Structure 1
């Protein structure tokens, strides 16, 4: 059993807490309280890598643009390709749909 399975209810409780936040600054402040600067950087770096991979950038281009390690880029790429939870894909899809909405 991995830590995610072991802490399943606690993690779901955290997810429900995020759903209560309505504004970007509320989420940002909560994340700053919740995470160390290094943890917050790691989360945001993975998300930027995900978006860059989705745009078709190569590992080297992403490394140059973001300074991310090739190992981290590869890890994100593996999850994008073989996502067990479809989290990255779902959010990318929602963002693309939002971009198509008329202003």
Structure 2
């Protein structure tokens, strides 16, 4: 049986990932994932307080704090890796 991680890595387009996540997740789960990713991007910019992020996004300060903890303190590095990949891909597109 193939792992979820391997399956996601093998999907070759944004459209195929979106279709897979739509089938895999409930609308609430999809919304939660989307919110966490948006919060991670806002936190990475380091321009807004938790309250400002809450006001801008509607995401609870508890969730914002959780994302911040994983972004800055936890050893997994998933948010950091994804943020760096997005930045690197944007730089490649410019050249």
- Using structure 2 for the length normalisation, give the TM-score: 0.90
Q: How many residues align?
A: 93
User: Structure 1 residue 53 and structure 2 residue 48: aligned?
Assistant: no
For 2:52 and 2:40, the matched residues in 1 are separated by: 13
Shift of 1:83: 2.1
The separation in 1 between residues aligned to 2:68 and 2:9, in whole angstroms, is: 27
Out of 16, 20, 38, the residue aligned to residue 10 of structure 2 is 20
Q: Which consecutive unaligned segments of at least 5 residues does structure 1 have?
A: 1-9
Q: 2:74 aligns with which of 77, 83, 87?
A: 83
How large is the Cα RMSD of the aligned pairs?
A: 1.5
Higher relative contact order (CA 8 A, sep 6+): 2
Unaligned runs of 5+ in 2: none
